[in-house]
Structure 1
Amino acid sequence: MNKTIRRTAAFSLLLVLALLLRVSWVQEVDGKALADDQYNRRNLIAQYANPFGDIIVGGRPVTGSARTSSPDFTYKRTYTDGPLYAAVTGRLSQVYGANQLEGIYQGVLNGTDSRTRSLLDVLTGRTGKPGDVLTTIDPAVQKAAYNGLGNKNGAAVAIDPQTGNVLAMVSTPSYDPSKIAGGSKADARAWQRYSDDKSQPMSNRALRQTYPPGSTFKLVVAAAALQDGLYSSIDQPTNSPNPYTLPGTVSQLTNENPAAPCENASISTALEYSCNTVFAKMAVDLGQDKVKAMADAFGFDSSELDIPVRAAQSVYPTKMPKSSLAQTGIGQFDVRATPLQMAMVVSAIADGGKLMAPHMVSEVTDGDGKALRTFDPKQTSQPISEHTAQQLRQAMVSVIQKGTGTNAQIPGVEVGGKTGTAQHGVDNGEKPYAWFVSYAKDSSGKQVAVAVMVDDPDAVRSEISGNGLAAPIAKAMMQAALKSS
């Protein structure tokens, strides 16, 4: 064999080997990537080929499956009381995708998760038997929150302080995920209608939106003052002028009620009358590092708060002048919080200073009911001591019994709370948010912590208050949680 033929043969062999390597790469690597691609229509067809597993509330499914006339997608998702539970379930749409619990556990719910597939399923390329997602939501508390908010823009969250179980998660106005679950023209029109709605019904205000918390943040400042030793008890007089001149300015901060005894008021009296001057001065006396440390201990500034749906990051600002620091003491300036975050603050106070990780899923199961994962109570931090928590509860009870939160009183039940009216917009030109945070504890020791935020554009500005708009909703939620009448 001459030299030219040998070289040609060797080059041809190299080409064959390269081709074999490329084919193997395409089949083993690129093939898997293509198969797993979210836009692979075969994957979508497989996901909708069988009935789905369900999201369970109070032992009953709030989701379902219905046959379609589509040649590709055999089934679509249905929802029982869709608007009531939309902030919990999220959506599962053939066209617009999935989010919240539907998105996080999509593989389990449609049987494509490896944990739901048997060896035979894997060998034959079939999907497994769909599993279920069991939530911690209490239907009675959820309905109380939803009915209380009605058509108002707002949100409500309820937490069991001892376990971290989320008992209610409501955002209004809501939407019906069933209306956008399919691929019809009617689904497209519903999606467009929801998307164009200025009230943003598909936004989760309870979990994914942040707001100035207003006077409810005074609980965090009071906790920092007591824990740091700035004041030894809730009954000790504070060093608080009335009015209070913001440091470095000539601007005077006053109180909503001119007749309130806010000058040098104790923490208890200042919470009872919601004295702005006391907590603005207190924040300055503490300094921003100490206030921020306390806020962060309660969960602010965490970018990875998953319940398991990720919450928006609540924020306590830094690098600000003392005049702005004073405003943060009353939950203004750039302080931002989700309703979930403020429920967490009250939850820790209610449970002796322990902050339990909030979660709204108790168990994920396979198609045979076998647990794939369980979520046990877990303590995330201890923002305050038991003694500080006890003092704050005592002051919060005074707010309900004789202060600004009387609309949340429940006979025979210990109720503590804090109202808030948060200004916002350019030059505070928008109508304020009405806040109410509270806890309730019955004689058996059963507890619940609640946060309610109402943004009512139709309300008369002078009539917007946490006690007037938000407290009755919180009361109904607490009664439902404690099963009291």
Structure 2
Amino acid sequence: MNKTIRRASVFCLLLVLALLVRVTWVQAYQGQALADNEHNRRNLLGQYENPLGNIIVGGEAITGSVKTGGKDFAYKRTYADGPLYAPITGFSSQAFGTTMLEGVYKKVLNGSDDRLKTVMDLLLNKRASPGNVVTTIDKDVQKAAWDALQGKQGSAVAIDPKTGEILAMVNNPSFDPGRIAGANDKEAWEELSADNGKAMENVALRKPQAPGSTFKLVTLAAAIENGLVTDVDAPTGIPDPYTIPGTRTLLPSEAGSAACNGVSARVAMRLSCNNVFAELASKLGQDKMRAMAEKLGFNTNTEIPVTTRVPSKYPSAKMSVDQVAQTGIGQFDVQATPLQMAMVTAAIENDGKLVAPHSVSEVTDAGGSVLESFKNPKTQQAMNAKTASMLRDVMKTVATEGGGKPAQVSGAEVGGKTGTAQRGVKNNLPPLAWFTSYGKAKGKQIAVAVVIENSDTDRSEIGGGRLAAPVAQKMMQAWLKK
């Protein structure tokens, strides 16, 4: 054979071998990665080729699927009471992706999760029947929160302190995820995205804000745990008028200096005396304050699951003495979500034990077999049981004699804490109205946190007891009276 022809033949053979190696590599090793790639349109079409699995509340599906009549997407997602449950479900959109439970459990709900596959599915290489997500949400508590928030901009969360189950999570304003479920809902998406997407903002989980005086529960917990307060009825001797340490600035209390001068921790909590809690924080120092906050969930990026929540924040960067004092009353750079403040109250009600909050009880296949269970969540001792008992005792006084009176539930033990938090440049925005509380009766218990961001109330009348406590009362009543 001619030498040139032989060389050309060997070269062509090498090219064929290289091509075979490449094809084998792509099919055997990269095939699954390419199939799972988020930009693979076949995956998107496959998600909506059949009806999706459902998200369940109280034994009933709050989601569904409907035929589109189109070629590419045979089905699209539908929602029952979409705005009511949007903070839980999120959305499943053919054009804009998925969020919240729809996103966390996307593969279960569309049948692509390997745990769903039967032997026949594997043999035929077909998508399995979709599974379902069973939530911990109680429809009565959820509805009570929704109704009570009408006419107000804000959010509310309820937890069962013993189990960590999230019983309710409501935002107002909210949105109907069904409006953006299709492939051609650009106009609705742009409308919901207006004003920085406020309609779709999950205030309950993803918008930490100054908790104001509700954070005084954390301050008092730290003071008791560190021996700074041993008797909640003993006079603290902390003066009012009170000058913020390291400054010449007087720190006023709403009740006035005559009422807050030298008072006990119980009276200070009932009247929300800023002087007492600012001084306690100042004496404790940043490290002890932060340690207590972190035991209760601050500075922690926890998956609950719904989505990874935005951490509530107690400052880690070095603060001056006046800044530490301000954190004692829930100001300066302290930030918390309603979920976080509900966790604080849940730990207090549960003898100091903080059970990891979760919104899903089970994930099942189409036949009801359990794929995942959240019935044994992580629990940690955030504070001594005696500390928790002292805090509950103080909170009961707030609910029976203080600003928390509107939260009372007939036949139940209720404890609470009001809060009003300044915000904006030089307080140019209406203050936040907070309320957090626990309620228990006949073996049932609940912890609630509510924040009201805006309402038609005159600025001088904005307060946690007036605006947020009635929302908490409706939620606690819906649970405790079941």
Which sits farther off after the overlay, 197-206 or 97-106? 197-206
Q: CA deviation at 1:472?
A: 0.3
Where does residue 224 of structure 1 map in the other structure?
A: 222
**Following the alignment from structure 1 to structure 2, what is the Cα–Cα distance between the partners of residues 41 and 152?**
42
Question: Is 1:88 aligned with 2:88?
Answer: yes
Where does residue 425 of structure 1 map in the other structure?
A: 424
**Following the alignment from structure 2 to structure 1, what is the Cα–Cα distance between the partners of residues 111 and 96?**
20
Q: CA deviation at 1:43?
A: 1.3
Where does residue 69 of structure 1 map in the other structure?
A: 69
CA contact (8 A) 2:304 2:359 kept: no
SS in 1 for 2:311: coil
Provide closer, same or farther for how the CA distance between residues 411 and 260 of structure 1 changes in structure 2, counting only shifts above 3 A.
farther
The amino acid across from 1:317 in the alignment is P
1:189-231 deviation digits (Å, cap 9, x = unpaired): 2111111146711111101111100000000000000011011
TM-score by length of 1: 0.96
**Following the alignment from structure 2 to structure 1, what is the Cα–Cα distance between the partners of residues 368 and 262?**
60
Aligned with residue 276 of structure 1, among 259, 274, 277: 274
Q: CA deviation at 1:14?
A: 2.6
The amino acid across from 1:191 in the alignment is W
CA contact (8 A) 1:283 1:328 kept: yes
**Following the alignment from structure 1 to structure 2, what is the Cα–Cα distance between the partners of residues 388 and 262?**
23
Which sits farther off after the overlay, 140-149 or 118-127? 118-127
1:386-438 deviation digits (Å, cap 9, x = unpaired): 11100100000000100121111122210000000000100111100000000
**Following the alignment from structure 1 to structure 2, what is the Cα–Cα distance between the partners of residues 331 and 299?**
15
**Following the alignment from structure 2 to structure 1, what is the Cα–Cα distance between the partners of residues 115 and 254?**
58
User: Which stretches of structure 1, 4 residues or more, deviate above 6 A after TM superposition?
Assistant: none
CA contact (8 A) 1:354 1:379 kept: no
**Following the alignment from structure 1 to structure 2, what is the Cα–Cα distance between the partners of residues 260 and 89?**
50
1:320-354 deviation digits (Å, cap 9, x = unpaired): 11111111000000000010000000000000000
TM-score by length of 2: 0.97
Q: CA deviation at 1:28?
A: 2.6
**Following the alignment from structure 2 to structure 1, what is the Cα–Cα distance between the partners of residues 342 and 315?**
20
> Which blocks of at least 5 consecutive residues in structure 1 are unaligned?
none
Provide closer, same or farther for how the CA distance between residues 23 and 382 of structure 1 changes in structure 2, counting only shifts above 3 A.
same
Question: Is 1:179 aligned with 2:179?
Answer: yes
Provide closer, same or farther for how the CA distance between residues 349 and 275 of structure 1 changes in structure 2, counting only shifts above 3 A.
same
**Following the alignment from structure 2 to structure 1, what is the Cα–Cα distance between the partners of residues 297 and 62?**
30
CA contact (8 A) 1:356 1:377 kept: no
Where does residue 348 of structure 1 map in the other structure?
A: 347
The amino acid across from 1:76 in the alignment is K
Which sits farther off after the overlay, 16-25 or 366-375? 16-25
Tell me the C-alpha RMSD between the 2 structures: 1.5
The amino acid across from 1:412 in the alignment is G
Q: CA deviation at 1:448?
A: 0.3
**Following the alignment from structure 2 to structure 1, what is the Cα–Cα distance between the partners of residues 170 and 226?**
35
SS in 2 for 1:265: coil
Q: CA deviation at 1:290?
A: 0.3
Where does residue 23 of structure 1 map in the other structure?
A: 23
Where does residue 295 of structure 1 map in the other structure?
A: 293
Q: CA deviation at 1:11?
A: 3.5
**Following the alignment from structure 2 to structure 1, what is the Cα–Cα distance between the partners of residues 162 and 149?**
26
- How many corresponding residue pairs? 481
CA contact (8 A) 1:153 1:455 kept: yes
Which structure 2 residues correspond to residues 66-145 of structure 1 after superposition, within 5 A? 66-145=66-145
Question: Is 1:368 aligned with 2:379?
Answer: no
Which structure 2 residues correspond to residues 177-216 of structure 1 after superposition, within 5 A? 177-184=177-184, 187-197=185-195, 200-216=198-214
Provide closer, same or farther for how the CA distance between residues 132 and 414 of structure 1 changes in structure 2, counting only shifts above 3 A.
same
Which sits farther off after the overlay, 390-399 or 7-16? 7-16
1:19-65 deviation digits (Å, cap 9, x = unpaired): 21111122233433322122222111111111111100001000011
Where does residue 152 of structure 2 map in the other structure?
A: 152
The amino acid across from 2:199 in the alignment is P
SS in 1 for 2:434: strand
CA contact (8 A) 2:160 2:445 kept: yes
CA contact (8 A) 2:240 2:258 kept: no
Instruction: Give the percent of matched residue pairs that are identical in Structure 1 and Structure 2.
Output: 55
**Following the alignment from structure 1 to structure 2, what is the Cα–Cα distance between the partners of residues 36 and 390?**
52
Q: CA deviation at 1:257?
A: 1.6
Which sits farther off after the overlay, 172-181 or 112-121? 112-121
1:134-172 deviation digits (Å, cap 9, x = unpaired): 000000000011111114221100000000000001111
Where does residue 56 of structure 1 map in the other structure?
A: 56
**Following the alignment from structure 1 to structure 2, what is the Cα–Cα distance between the partners of residues 308 and 197?**
24
SS in 2 for 1:346: helix
Which sits farther off after the overlay, 349-358 or 448-457? 448-457
**Following the alignment from structure 2 to structure 1, what is the Cα–Cα distance between the partners of residues 400 and 42?**
62
SS in 2 for 1:95: coil
Where does residue 440 of structure 2 map in the other structure?
A: 441
**Following the alignment from structure 1 to structure 2, what is the Cα–Cα distance between the partners of residues 420 and 199?**
27
Which structure 2 residues correspond to residues 295-444 of structure 1 after superposition, within 5 A? 295-318=293-316, 319-442=318-441, 444=442
The amino acid across from 2:475 in the alignment is M
**Following the alignment from structure 1 to structure 2, what is the Cα–Cα distance between the partners of residues 394 and 457?**
31
Which sits farther off after the overlay, 9-18 or 263-272? 9-18
Provide closer, same or farther for how the CA distance between residues 151 and 377 of structure 1 changes in structure 2, counting only shifts above 3 A.
farther
Provide closer, same or farther for how the CA distance between residues 169 and 299 of structure 1 changes in structure 2, counting only shifts above 3 A.
same
Which sits farther off after the overlay, 28-37 or 173-182? 28-37
**Following the alignment from structure 2 to structure 1, what is the Cα–Cα distance between the partners of residues 40 and 383?**
51
Q: CA deviation at 1:445?
A: 2.3
**Following the alignment from structure 2 to structure 1, what is the Cα–Cα distance between the partners of residues 303 and 35?**
32
**Following the alignment from structure 1 to structure 2, what is the Cα–Cα distance between the partners of residues 253 and 265?**
16
SS in 2 for 1:14: helix
Where does residue 254 of structure 1 map in the other structure?
A: 252
Provide closer, same or farther for how the CA distance between residues 384 and 43 of structure 1 changes in structure 2, counting only shifts above 3 A.
same
> Which blocks of at least 5 consecutive residues in structure 2 are unaligned?
none
**Following the alignment from structure 1 to structure 2, what is the Cα–Cα distance between the partners of residues 114 and 434?**
46
Where does residue 460 of structure 1 map in the other structure?
A: 458
**Following the alignment from structure 1 to structure 2, what is the Cα–Cα distance between the partners of residues 255 and 199?**
36
Q: CA deviation at 1:8?
A: 4.5
1:289-308 deviation digits (Å, cap 9, x = unpaired): 00000000000000234334
CA contact (8 A) 1:154 1:172 kept: yes
SS in 2 for 1:201: helix
CA contact (8 A) 1:173 1:199 kept: no
